[in-house]
Amino acid sequence: MIIGLTGSIATGKSTVATMLKNKGYALVDADEIARQVVEPGRPVLSEITEVFGQEVLKADGSLDRERLGHRIFTNEEERKKLNAIMHPAVRKEMLRQKDEWLLNGARTVIMDIPLLFESKLQSFVEKVLVVSVSPSIQRARLMERNHLTEEEADARIRSQMPIAEKEELADAVIFNNGTREETEVQLTSILQQWGALA
Protein backbone atom coordinates (compact mmCIF):
# COMPACT_ATOMS: atom_id res chain seq x y z
CA MET A 1 0.00 0.00 0.00
CA ILE A 2 1.19 3.51 -0.82
CA ILE A 3 0.13 6.07 1.81
CA GLY A 4 0.43 9.81 1.26
CA LEU A 5 1.25 11.66 4.50
CA THR A 6 0.51 15.37 4.46
CA GLY A 7 -0.59 18.29 6.58
CA SER A 8 0.15 21.98 6.67
CA ILE A 9 3.01 24.02 8.05
CA ALA A 10 3.48 23.38 11.81
CA THR A 11 0.72 20.75 12.13
CA GLY A 12 3.16 18.05 13.31
CA LYS A 13 3.49 16.00 10.13
CA SER A 14 7.21 15.46 10.80
CA THR A 15 6.38 14.08 14.25
CA VAL A 16 4.05 11.52 12.64
CA ALA A 17 6.66 10.72 9.97
CA THR A 18 9.19 9.97 12.74
CA MET A 19 6.65 7.68 14.46
CA LEU A 20 6.16 5.80 11.19
CA LYS A 21 9.91 5.44 10.70
CA ASN A 22 10.28 4.16 14.26
CA LYS A 23 7.56 1.57 13.52
CA GLY A 24 9.69 0.33 10.61
CA TYR A 25 7.77 1.82 7.67
CA ALA A 26 9.54 2.70 4.42
CA LEU A 27 9.46 6.48 4.03
CA VAL A 28 9.97 8.72 1.00
CA ASP A 29 10.50 12.27 2.28
CA ALA A 30 9.71 15.01 -0.27
CA ASP A 31 11.33 17.74 1.87
CA GLU A 32 14.54 15.74 2.18
CA ILE A 33 14.54 15.16 -1.59
CA ALA A 34 13.89 18.88 -2.16
CA ARG A 35 17.05 19.61 -0.14
CA GLN A 36 19.08 17.03 -2.06
CA VAL A 37 18.12 18.27 -5.54
CA VAL A 38 19.42 21.80 -4.77
CA GLU A 39 22.83 20.73 -3.50
CA PRO A 40 25.79 22.49 -5.17
CA GLY A 41 26.64 20.90 -8.50
CA ARG A 42 23.06 19.71 -9.13
CA PRO A 43 21.32 21.00 -12.30
CA VAL A 44 18.35 22.27 -10.24
CA LEU A 45 20.56 24.73 -8.33
CA SER A 46 22.00 26.09 -11.60
CA GLU A 47 18.48 26.60 -12.90
CA ILE A 48 17.38 28.42 -9.72
CA THR A 49 20.42 30.70 -9.97
CA GLU A 50 19.64 31.48 -13.61
CA VAL A 51 16.07 32.49 -12.73
CA PHE A 52 16.58 34.21 -9.35
CA GLY A 53 20.17 35.48 -9.66
CA GLN A 54 23.37 34.89 -7.68
CA GLU A 55 21.94 36.67 -4.62
CA VAL A 56 20.04 33.49 -3.65
CA LEU A 57 23.39 31.73 -3.08
CA LYS A 58 25.49 31.79 0.06
CA ALA A 59 29.21 32.53 -0.09
CA ASP A 60 29.99 28.79 -0.22
CA GLY A 61 27.81 28.32 -3.32
CA SER A 62 24.92 26.61 -1.50
CA LEU A 63 21.33 27.83 -1.68
CA ASP A 64 20.36 30.60 0.74
CA ARG A 65 16.96 29.14 1.66
CA GLU A 66 16.01 31.99 3.95
CA ARG A 67 16.59 34.66 1.32
CA LEU A 68 14.81 32.68 -1.39
CA GLY A 69 12.00 31.78 1.03
CA HIS A 70 11.44 35.42 1.88
CA ARG A 71 11.13 36.26 -1.82
CA ILE A 72 8.67 33.52 -2.69
CA PHE A 73 6.43 33.79 0.39
CA THR A 74 5.59 37.37 -0.51
CA ASN A 75 5.37 36.95 -4.28
CA GLU A 76 3.15 34.38 -5.98
CA GLU A 77 4.79 34.83 -9.41
CA GLU A 78 8.20 34.02 -7.93
CA ARG A 79 6.75 31.05 -6.05
CA LYS A 80 5.32 29.65 -9.29
CA LYS A 81 8.69 30.02 -11.03
CA LEU A 82 10.46 28.16 -8.23
CA ASN A 83 7.84 25.39 -8.17
CA ALA A 84 8.17 24.92 -11.94
CA ILE A 85 11.87 24.19 -11.42
CA MET A 86 11.63 22.16 -8.22
CA HIS A 87 8.52 20.01 -8.61
CA PRO A 88 9.51 17.88 -11.64
CA ALA A 89 12.92 17.06 -10.14
CA VAL A 90 11.43 16.19 -6.74
CA ARG A 91 8.64 14.05 -8.25
CA LYS A 92 11.05 12.04 -10.36
CA GLU A 93 13.27 11.23 -7.36
CA MET A 94 10.26 10.43 -5.14
CA LEU A 95 8.96 7.86 -7.61
CA ARG A 96 12.44 6.38 -8.00
CA GLN A 97 12.75 5.93 -4.20
CA LYS A 98 9.22 4.48 -3.90
CA ASP A 99 9.98 1.90 -6.61
CA GLU A 100 13.26 1.03 -4.90
CA TRP A 101 11.48 0.39 -1.56
CA LEU A 102 8.90 -1.84 -3.28
CA LEU A 103 11.62 -3.77 -5.12
CA ASN A 104 13.33 -4.31 -1.76
CA GLY A 105 10.18 -5.88 -0.34
CA ALA A 106 8.47 -3.03 1.54
CA ARG A 107 4.74 -3.83 1.96
CA THR A 108 3.73 -0.24 2.73
CA VAL A 109 5.52 2.90 1.53
CA ILE A 110 4.80 6.26 3.16
CA MET A 111 5.12 9.19 0.77
CA ASP A 112 5.70 12.20 3.05
CA ILE A 113 4.54 15.08 0.81
CA PRO A 114 3.80 18.46 2.47
CA LEU A 115 2.11 19.89 -0.66
CA LEU A 116 0.36 16.69 -1.77
CA PHE A 117 -2.94 18.41 -2.62
CA GLU A 118 -1.47 21.72 -3.82
CA SER A 119 0.77 19.79 -6.23
CA LYS A 120 -2.10 17.45 -7.21
CA LEU A 121 -0.12 14.31 -6.38
CA GLN A 122 -3.04 12.22 -5.09
CA SER A 123 -2.51 9.84 -8.03
CA PHE A 124 0.89 8.90 -6.50
CA VAL A 125 -0.80 7.27 -3.50
CA GLU A 126 -3.66 4.92 -2.57
CA LYS A 127 -4.61 6.51 0.77
CA VAL A 128 -4.13 10.02 2.14
CA LEU A 129 -3.42 10.66 5.82
CA VAL A 130 -3.66 14.30 6.93
CA VAL A 131 -2.11 15.61 10.16
CA SER A 132 -4.16 18.54 11.44
CA VAL A 133 -4.24 20.99 14.35
CA SER A 134 -6.49 23.86 15.34
CA PRO A 135 -5.59 27.22 13.68
CA SER A 136 -4.57 28.83 16.99
CA ILE A 137 -2.16 25.99 17.83
CA GLN A 138 -0.80 26.02 14.29
CA ARG A 139 -0.01 29.76 14.47
CA ALA A 140 1.53 29.51 17.95
CA ARG A 141 3.75 26.55 16.98
CA LEU A 142 4.90 28.23 13.78
CA MET A 143 5.73 31.51 15.52
CA GLU A 144 7.72 29.67 18.18
CA ARG A 145 9.47 27.26 15.80
CA ASN A 146 10.48 29.81 13.13
CA HIS A 147 10.70 32.91 15.36
CA LEU A 148 8.04 34.70 13.29
CA THR A 149 5.66 37.54 14.05
CA GLU A 150 1.93 36.80 13.94
CA GLU A 151 1.69 38.51 10.52
CA GLU A 152 4.61 36.47 9.10
CA ALA A 153 3.13 33.24 10.46
CA ASP A 154 -0.29 34.06 8.98
CA ALA A 155 1.29 34.82 5.57
CA ARG A 156 2.98 31.41 5.54
CA ILE A 157 -0.19 29.63 6.60
CA ARG A 158 -2.19 31.47 3.91
CA SER A 159 0.32 30.43 1.24
CA GLN A 160 -0.99 26.85 1.60
CA MET A 161 -4.39 25.28 1.07
CA PRO A 162 -6.56 25.66 4.23
CA ILE A 163 -6.16 22.66 6.52
CA ALA A 164 -9.96 22.21 6.70
CA GLU A 165 -10.00 21.55 2.92
CA LYS A 166 -7.22 18.98 3.30
CA GLU A 167 -9.20 17.23 6.04
CA GLU A 168 -12.17 16.89 3.67
CA LEU A 169 -9.98 15.34 0.95
CA ALA A 170 -8.24 12.89 3.31
CA ASP A 171 -8.99 9.20 3.81
CA ALA A 172 -8.12 9.70 7.50
CA VAL A 173 -7.14 12.61 9.75
CA ILE A 174 -4.89 12.65 12.81
CA PHE A 175 -5.77 15.52 15.16
CA ASN A 176 -2.45 16.57 16.67
CA ASN A 177 -3.70 19.08 19.26
CA GLY A 178 -2.84 16.89 22.26
CA THR A 179 0.12 14.83 23.44
CA ARG A 180 2.48 12.70 21.35
CA GLU A 181 0.90 9.63 22.94
CA GLU A 182 -2.61 10.67 21.81
CA THR A 183 -1.28 11.25 18.29
CA GLU A 184 0.42 7.84 18.23
CA VAL A 185 -2.78 6.08 19.38
CA GLN A 186 -4.66 7.66 16.44
CA LEU A 187 -1.88 6.69 14.00
CA THR A 188 -1.77 3.05 15.17
CA SER A 189 -5.55 2.78 14.92
CA ILE A 190 -5.61 4.12 11.33
CA LEU A 191 -2.80 1.80 10.19
CA GLN A 192 -4.68 -1.16 11.68
CA GLN A 193 -7.93 -0.16 9.97
CA TRP A 194 -6.11 0.06 6.65
CA GLY A 195 -4.20 -3.19 7.20
CA ALA A 196 -1.00 -1.29 6.41
CA LEU A 197 1.89 -3.53 7.43
CA ALA A 198 5.44 -2.18 7.68
- 10 marked among binding-site residues: yes
Q: How far apart are the first and last CA of the chain?
A: 10
The residue among 78, 94, 85 whose CA lies nearest residue 45 is 85
- 24 marked among binding-site residues: no
pLDDT digits (tens, 9 = 90+) for 28-78: 999 999 999 999 999 999 999 999 999 999 999 999 999 999 889 889 899
Non-local CB neighbours of 172 within 8 Å, separated by 6+ positions: 127, 128, 129, 130, 190, 193, 194
Model confidence at 190, pLDDT cuts 50, 70, 90, reads: very high
* Rg, the chain, Cα only: 17
- 11 marked among binding-site residues: yes
pLDDT at 160: 86
Model confidence at 115, pLDDT cuts 50, 70, 90, reads: confident
The residues spanned by each domain of the chain are 1-25+106-198, 34-89
The residue among 89, 84, 51, 43 whose CA lies nearest residue 68 is 51
The residue among 3, 31, 20, 15 whose CA lies nearest residue 137 is 15
- 15 marked among binding-site residues: yes
pTM (2 d.p.)? 0.85
In CATH, the architecture of 1-25+106-198 is 3-Layer(aba) Sandwich (3.40)
- 12 marked among binding-site residues: yes
Q: Give the three-class secondary structure for 101.
A: helix
- 58 marked among binding-site residues: no
